[in-house]
Amino acid sequence: MEMKEMTKEDRKAAFTLMELLLVIVIIVILVGLAFPVFQGVLERAKKLQAKNDLTQIVTAVNAFYTEYGRYPLVTDDTPIANNSDLLYTLRGVANGANVGNAVNTRQIVFISPAEDTSQTNP
C-alpha cells in the first residue's frame, strides 16, 4: 500500500491534536463551573423536601387532634417515645407505641407512607 501525502487542502480540513485538546479542556472547565451550581440546586431541593415533609407531619398531627381531641403525645398509657412511634400512629399502623391500635384506635391514616419501604421515613 502506498502512503498518500496530505495536501494542503487535506490539512486544512482536519483538526489538529492541539485543537482537539483545547476543546476538551474548555469542556472540562465548563463542567467544573457547572458542578457547584448543580450541587447548590440539589441542596435547595433537599431543604424544600424536608420542609414539605415537616408541613405534612404538622398537618397530620393537627388532623389527629381534630379527630381525637388530643395530640399523639407521650403519656403513661401511650408511650410515644420517638419519631417512628409517632409516624406509626399517624399512619394507622399497629406497631411501636400504636401496638393494638392503642393510640390511633380507629386506624385512621393521617399521613401517607413514603414511596420507599421505610416506615419511619415521612
User: Tens of pLDDT along 42-72?
Assistant: 999 999 999 998 999 999 999 999 998 888 8
Residue 47 grid cell: 431543604
Does residue 108 fall inside a structural domain? no
Does residue 69 fall inside a structural domain? yes
Does residue 118 fall inside a structural domain? no
CA distance 98 to 118: 17
For residues 45, 50, 56, 62, the Cα torsion angle rounded to the nearest 10 degrees is: -140
Structural contact between residues 85 and 96, judged by C-beta atoms closer than 8 angstroms: yes
CA distance 92 to 15: 67
Residue 111 dihedral angles phi and psi, to the nearest 5°: -140, 130
Q: Would you say the C-alpha torsion 56, 61, 64, 66 has a positive or negative sign?
A: negative
User: How many domains does the chain fold into?
Assistant: 1
Does residue 5 fall inside a structural domain? no
Does residue 77 fall inside a structural domain? yes
Does residue 110 fall inside a structural domain? no
Structural contact between residues 74 and 80, judged by C-beta atoms closer than 8 angstroms: yes
Is the pTM higher than 0.75? The answer reads: no
Does residue 96 fall inside a structural domain? yes
Query: Is 122 in a helix, a strand, or coil?
Result: coil
Each residue's pLDDT tens digit, 67-120: 988 888 756 565 566 777 788 888 887 776 666 667 777 888 888 876 555 555
Query: What length does the chain have?
Result: 122
Q: Provide the residue range defining the domain that includes 91.
A: 17-101
